[in-house]
Chains A and B, each alone.
Chain A
């Protein structure tokens, strides 16, 4: 893997982008890597556009500035594409993973990335979370999709750490529904 991998999560407050970034970092750390996870804090309110970040590396990470050039962008809410510059600072061959009902080709057009070396992955994470968890909670399926698309971590590692992290806050049956969402997303992510 790259020496230092940087990820930017775009979500709306309440969609769990911060939790997703934290779980991903915990999973990377459990796998023996070094990682950071931190959200951007502003005047928080439900539904407001927000971002969260990850750095993952095989070596200790000492940098503590914002992530400005992420090679991976995860978009939990497709309406943010119109509201935010989700491509800001991303290299030409960056990876985009979008929660959408669109297919990858259509999303590539929507992002203005036709004829670009960028990789575009899509997943209907909202539908998966409705089917499994019973409410629109796209963060856990998007973690599964991220691991499915990039091979960043072993799926089992992600599942183990999700179980641990969500288990501190949620009832076991809800945790298991989230795990099911991760498994489905891992399979269904498309490019």
Chain B
């Protein structure tokens, strides 16, 4: 039986971490992730969890200590946001290449500059090629559920990759909502005992971790890393299936909302998906065949599955909460349109960059996107690829 509680996104993730009982958490506080570290270190101080809490002096050290602990054979976690993730950068790639199944909640915040503490996805989108699995959450419930699932995905022997679980800064991290949590014993059972593959602390079987790897083998190792990401897709679905048995809550690579017979559809990730659902419901009442695809898993990118889910739609709008500054589009658009290439009579597809630096996105904004889509669907073409939603210019 689940327990119905009122929690903010940060409280939900700190609770998940307490229940998961990682051996080591090394973290440095940064707005809006700070509360996760604050609440979790409170759990440690109160003896509610026996994690070794390492308070480091920077995020570079947080990720370094987490990598060290994971390489030693510990179940290790950290958490960060924005510039904290940026400061980890060097070690973020190393964690992935060392195939360490670290789970890291990331509370999405705009990367400086100009300095800003509010939500956009520029931080994790920047890390999309780092070799980490990336799972996005719509609300506090999903942040909790995704954190629990990420551990099983990351530690699967066919995967052994680190995983980021995101939630939108402030919008979710600091907003209290209704959600359900599992009992401690259920989570204990869910995460199970961790058996690391080649732990440094297994002195009877000494291994070298992180040696120089030049042109004789480096490419093979990177190829294995790429293959692990390919393999992870099936594992993500299997873990979701097991999680549904445990909780009744079903997850996939993405969520299809009123998409089956949709003529116009929005592709979106994070909290805006919830706002967009309200608009879809209204449009459906007015007889508009509006649908929504909420991307949950951005890495691995479910290209074939997305193409199959969207091929019947007449016009698609991708919503990007970060910019690539590539003079074309945001990052999600680039991947979604690439996924649609080769689809017979492919739908028209456009991009909206929105919500930068925490700019509010209202149902009215999203209604405008669907209005534009109706127009594009009727004409069979779009005049331009990219629109900045709600910007003053």
Task: Contact check, A62 vs B174: say whether CB atoms are below 8 A apart.
Answer: no
Q: Which of A80-117 contact B (CB under 8 A)?
A: none
Once the chains are docked, how many angstroms separate the CA of A62 from the CA of B271? 8
Residue of A nearest to B366 (CB): A65
Once the chains are docked, how many angstroms separate the CA of A22 from the CA of B360? 21
Once the chains are docked, how many angstroms separate the CA of A65 from the CA of B274? 9
Task: Contact check, B361 vs A25: say whether CB atoms are below 8 A apart.
Answer: no
Q: Which of B9-53 contact A (CB under 8 A)?
A: 32
Residue of B nearest to A37 (CB): B176
Residue-wise, chain A 38-65 has the 8 Å CB interface mask toward B (1 for contact) of 1101000000000000000000111111
Residue of B nearest to A39 (CB): B174
* Of B84-92, B165-173, B213-221, B326-334, the one with at least 4 CB within 8 A of chain A: B165-173
The answer to the question of A185 belonging to the interface, with a C-beta cut-off of 8 Å to chain B, is no
Task: Contact check, A41 vs B362: say whether CB atoms are below 8 A apart.
Answer: no
Task: Contact check, B118 vs A41: say whether CB atoms are below 8 A apart.
Answer: yes
Given the contacts A38-B170, A64-B171, A66-B360, A22 and B176 also touching, CB distance less than 8 Å: yes
Number of residues of chain A lying within 8 A (CB) of chain B: 20
Neighbouring A residues of B117 by C-beta, 8 Å: 41
Given the contacts A25-B6, A41-B118, A41-B170, A61 and B362 also touching, CB distance less than 8 Å: no
The main secondary structure of chain A at its interface with chain B is mixed
CB of B165 to closest CB in A, whole Å: 18
Neighbouring B residues of A34 by C-beta, 8 Å: 177-178
The answer to the question of A79 belonging to the interface, with a C-beta cut-off of 8 Å to chain B, is no
The answer to the question of A191 belonging to the interface, with a C-beta cut-off of 8 Å to chain B, is no
Once the chains are docked, how many angstroms separate the CA of A119 from the CA of B360? 29
Partner of A62 from the list B175, B278, B360 (CB cut-off 8 Å) is B278
Given the contacts A41-B117, A41-B170, A62-B275, A36 and B361 also touching, CB distance less than 8 Å: no
Task: Contact check, A64 vs B274: say whether CB atoms are below 8 A apart.
Answer: yes
Task: Contact check, A35 vs B177: say whether CB atoms are below 8 A apart.
Answer: yes
Neighbouring B residues of A64 by C-beta, 8 Å: 139, 168, 171-172, 175, 271-272, 274-275
Q: Which of B141-181 contact A (CB under 8 A)?
A: 168, 170-172, 174-178
Given the contacts A26-B6, A41-B117, A65 and B360 also touching, CB distance less than 8 Å: yes
The answer to the question of B75 belonging to the interface, with a C-beta cut-off of 8 Å to chain A, is no
CB of B130 to closest CB in A, whole Å: 27
Given the contacts A64-B171, A65-B361, A36 and B278 also touching, CB distance less than 8 Å: no
Task: Contact check, A66 vs B362: say whether CB atoms are below 8 A apart.
Answer: yes
Task: Contact check, B363 vs A65: say whether CB atoms are below 8 A apart.
Answer: yes
Neighbouring A residues of B278 by C-beta, 8 Å: 62-63
Residue-wise, chain B 259-275 has the 8 Å CB interface mask toward A (1 for contact) of 00000000000011011
**Residue of A36, A62, A66 most packed against chain B (CB within 10 A):** A62
Once the chains are docked, how many angstroms separate the CA of A30 from the CA of B5? 8
Once the chains are docked, how many angstroms separate the CA of A68 from the CA of B364? 12
The contact sample of 6 A-B pairs, CB cut-off 8 A, is: A22-B176, A26-B176, A35-B6, A64-B271, A65-B362, A65-B363
Given A25-B6, A35-B177, A68-B362, 6 other A-B residues pairs in contact with their CB atoms under 8 A: A30-B6, A37-B175, A38-B170, A60-B178, A64-B139, A65-B360
